[in-house]
């Protein structure tokens, strides 16, 4: 499971609470960027709700954080480690099941990967999507367009907050996706910063883990979060859910 940060930033431990929980359930988690100071994790439960994704793409003239090709490099590294003599990961990874994800600008890096690499099993777009006006994005974001949605490999899920400034992007993405299983789940009273900095990633962490367990492990109990008229998200008044091409 490869993760790209909000802002396409290079602080690899900023989403520790969210990602640690996923890793604790048997996933190898690789996050783009360097491990930053402990203070990068210190906003636990206190991240500002007003943090927002720009409504339109900003110019690509700021400092570069992570780059889209680093996501491919992370996957290539993990696949190589799985067969490398002396590697602590040798024989321990199912390299036929690969997920990519990100927050905000990081969703564009994830989509750039899953729209071009057939190894990807599932993509999780969290509080992000392709801008409806123009192309490009924050420094480090790939110059992808809505056309990329036509070549996504595997399944795709969108998780948003109802107050998320990027929600229109995700809704428009979802409306354009054809031919693959897709979900759009919107949590009430959550803005663009999400719930990443709550314990275990909060509500987003719970839903993201269930999605990965279903898509990457084939877990039938995890599928109940999403499948059926009475799915767990469908019957939770705090969430609204749209699905297409589901079993």
pLDDT confidence of residue 47: 47
How many residues would you count in the chain?
247
Q: What is the spatial distance between Cα 153 and Cα 150, in angstroms, rounded to a whole number?
A: 9
CA distance 174 to 171: 5
- By DSSP bridging, strand 155-161 and strand 239-244 are unpaired
Report which of residues 10 and 20 the model is more confident about. Answer: 20
Q: Is the pLDDT of residue 59 over 80?
A: no
Q: Is the pLDDT of residue 52 over 80?
A: no
Residue % of the chain over a pLDDT of 70 = 88
pLDDT of residue 214: 99
Distance CA 125, CA 108 (A): 8
Burial per residue of 182-216, b for 16 or more beta-carbon CB atoms within 10 angstroms, e otherwise: bbbbbbeebbbbbbbbbebbbbbbebbbbbbbbbb
SS3 239: strand
Q: Cα angle vertex 225, ends 124, 169, to 5°? A: 35
| pLDDT tens, position by position, 113-139 | 999 999 999 999 999 999 876 545 566
User: What is the DSSP secondary-structure string of 199-226?
Assistant: GGGHHHHHHHHHHHHHHHH--HHHHTTT
Percent of the chain beyond pLDDT 90? Answer: 74
Superfamily for 2-35+64-244? Alpha/Beta hydrolase fold, catalytic domain (3.40.50.1820)
**Domain locations in the chain as residue ranges:** 2-35+64-244
Give the model confidence (pLDDT) of 150-179 as tens digits.
Answer: 999 999 999 999 999 999 999 999 999 999
Average pLDDT, the chain: 89
Q: Which two three-digit tokens encode residue 46?
A: 């206190």
Range 215-243 average pLDDT: 97
Cα-based angle 40, 46, 49 (whole degrees, multiple of 5): 105
């Amino acid at each position: 499971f490869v993760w790209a940060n909000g802002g396409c930033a290079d602080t690899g431990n900023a989403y520790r609470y969210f990602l640690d929980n996923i890793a604790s359930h048997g996933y190898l988690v690789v996050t783009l960027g360097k491990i930053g100071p402990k203070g990068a994790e210190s906003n636990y439960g206190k991240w500002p709700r007003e943090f927002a994704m720009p409504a339109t793409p900003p110019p690509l003239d700021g400092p570069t954080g992570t780059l889209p090709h680093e996501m491919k490099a992370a996957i290539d590294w993990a696949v190589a480690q799985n067969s490398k003599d002396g590697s602590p990961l040798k024989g321990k990874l199912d390299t036929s099941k690969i997920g990519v994800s990100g927050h905000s600008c990081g969703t564009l890096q994830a989509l750039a990967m899953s729209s071009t690499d057939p190894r990807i099993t599932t993509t999780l777009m969290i509080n992000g999507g392709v801008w409806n006006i123009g192309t490009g994005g924050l420094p480090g974001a790939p110059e992808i367009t809505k056309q990329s949605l036509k070549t996504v490999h595997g399944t795709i899920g969108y998780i948003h907050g109802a107050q998320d400034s990027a929600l229109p992007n995700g809704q428009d993405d979802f409306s354009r996706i054809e031919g693959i299983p897709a979900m759009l789940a919107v949590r009430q009273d959550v803005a663009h910063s999400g719930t990443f900095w709550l314990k275990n990633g909060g509500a987003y962490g719970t839903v993201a883990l269930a999605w990965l367990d279903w898509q990457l492990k084939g877990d039938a109990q995890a599928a109940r979060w999403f499948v059926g008229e009475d799915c767990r998200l469908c019957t939770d008044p705090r969430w609204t859910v749209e699905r297409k091409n589901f079993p």
